[in-house]
Amino acid sequence: MEKEALNNSRNTMELCKGGLKPINTTVPTSGMDEEEEEEVEPLSPMGHIFHVPGLNYFIIAVLGCKIKVDVEMIKYGIKQTLIKHPRFSSKLLFDVKDPTKPVAWIRTKVNVDDHIVVPDLDPNMDSPDQFVEDYLSNLTKYPFDLSKPLWEVHILNVKTSDAAAVGVFKIHHSLGDGVSLISLLLACARKSSDPNALPTLPVARKKPQPATRSSRHSGFLKCFFGSLMMLKVLWNSVVDIALFLATMVFLKDKNDFMRDGAHHDGEQPPKRFVYKTFSFDDIKLVKNAMGVTVNDVVMGITQAGLSRYLNKKHGKDKGDHNNALVNNLPKDIRLRAVLVMNLRSHTMIEGLAKRMEADTKVDWDWGNLVGYVLLPLHIGIKDDPLDYIRDAKATIDRKKQSYEAQLSYSATKCFLNTLGLGVAVPLMHNSIGNTTLTFSNLVGPLEEVSFYGHPMAFLAPSFYGAPQPLIVSFQSYMDKMTVVVAVDEDIIPDPHNLCNEIVDSVILAKNAVIQKKLESL
């Protein structure tokens, strides 16, 4: 099977060389380098933020491949796609008066070899999974060379338990938000079944509206209830933004994960990344049975996993090692998640692919365009594992009736533009650092895709640099779901246990759904 996949990847490579549609292989003229050097774009306010110590964010995306990685194929593909993107072919320009302060992006000639790291590995190493985990952790310990564009690709040709080889993208967050960067990576991929076709993402289905009789009476009721809903949304928005501002100033979570004075004036400690892949069908089974969304389910199982993890930890502290159903949690525990929400109204993959194909200057519609929502998490021991999902649905439904994401984005920009970095940065640091974790759930392709001719086994994106001890990320791909747990090991020394508790919570929820169906027969 691996031999067949390798042959397919080589065929894809030949297609690329022959003019794979939508990848343009035209070589730029020599005079273009001098022209590109003169292209300067000011650093956005959010770009400034992501270069401040304490908020220096990096995205890590692990891509599992079904075959050994052909390094030359990866280099060739990157030359046809990624380096055509202005952010991936620009370096930082620094203030003349303050050489440590970046002020703009300047286009530069990219030597792809400077961005590809291929360590010489022993294919017969004892524990390849542990090696990859340690390698990812080590990536968080050093910064980028700021004289080059801020991205790297690390190729680890070692067979793990779930892939024949692993590629790791390390990208500075100032290049774009997680949603746009993952979209960019997918725009560089093609369907394994059709090398000319872009990946297909699921489209959210709109619920059909019930038919109503047209009358003056029904129109009045519609207007009345619409006004009530608008008032509710406005009230929720006022409450949410008030809590967001309070979190910026003083309101802190209270739980085992919080640490006072954590790195406000410097870089965050190294992170350790642990990921695990499980059946997406289990998520969909629970979703369909309960009439909820995928977001509701993954947030619910995250709450369940955190509850079980903390309860066992407190149980061990009390000498109770066996009974996981006994509630050992403190009564005053308060734990909130920062939910990252994409504010774009459209998918970016097709547009990005067309822009990378074009040789002309185009509007990339790029940047960090995400809002933040503070989600209170329900931590406790429940008899019914589905109650965690019901609680998550109630919380998320409440947040849907609010403009918190848009207001938090606008408030951040306003603080940056009016108060300056000196005041805005500590406020932004607190708005995240006073909470416990960041949560994200990204939608992946429905069918198998190949990245520059390499069939993909899984995709596991995350990030580090946030003043929080925990990041939880979900990424779907075909019939699989991957959960990534990124932790500060000084606070969470056993991330595998936490990751396993989250995955085990999926099984518990699925079994509960099956049991209820059997009881109803």
Instruction: Give how far Cα 63 sits from Cα of 170, 189, 451, 520, Å.
Output: 11, 12, 9, 43
User: Of all helices (H) and strands (E), which one includes residue 58?
Assistant: strand 58-65
Paired sense of beta strands 116-117 and 151-156, if any:
parallel
Q: Which structure tokens are listed for 455?
A: 């069939």
- Comparing CA positions, the residue from 89, 102, 98, 114 lying closest to residue 39 is 89
Token pair 């993208």 in the structure block, residue? 169
Residues 6+ apart with CB under 8 A from 163: 64, 65, 66, 457, 458
- Nearest-5° angle of CA 354, CA 358, CA 362? 85
Residue 48 a catalytic site member:
no
b/e 200-219 (16+ beta carbons within 10 angstroms → b): ebeeeeeeeeeeeeeeeeee
Catalytic residue among 173, 378, 429, 454: 173
Please tell me the distance from the alpha carbon of residue 281 to that of residue 177, in angstroms, as a whole number. 28
Would you list the DSSP string of 92-156?
EEE-SS-TT-EEEEEE----GGGGEE-----TT-S-HHHHHHHHHHHHTTS---TTS-SEEEEEE
Residues 6+ apart with CB under 8 A from 317: 328
Q: Is 328 exposed, middle or buried (0-12, 13-18, 19+ CB in 10 A)?
A: middle
Please tell me the distance from the alpha carbon of residue 422 to that of residue 473, in angstroms, as a whole number. 31
Instruction: Tell me if 85 sits within 8 A of 184, measured CB to CB.
Output: yes
Helix axes 386-400 and 216-249, enclosed angle (nearest 10): 100
- Comparing CA positions, the residue from 391, 420, 179 lying closest to residue 301 is 391
- Comparing CA positions, the residue from 392, 379, 411 lying closest to residue 242 is 411
Please tell me the distance from the alpha carbon of residue 444 to that of residue 191, in angstroms, as a whole number. 12
Please tell me the distance from the alpha carbon of residue 181 to that of residue 194, in angstroms, as a whole number. 23
The tally of CA atoms less than 13 A away on the side-chain side of residue 28 is 17
Q: So which residues are the catalytic ones?
A: 173
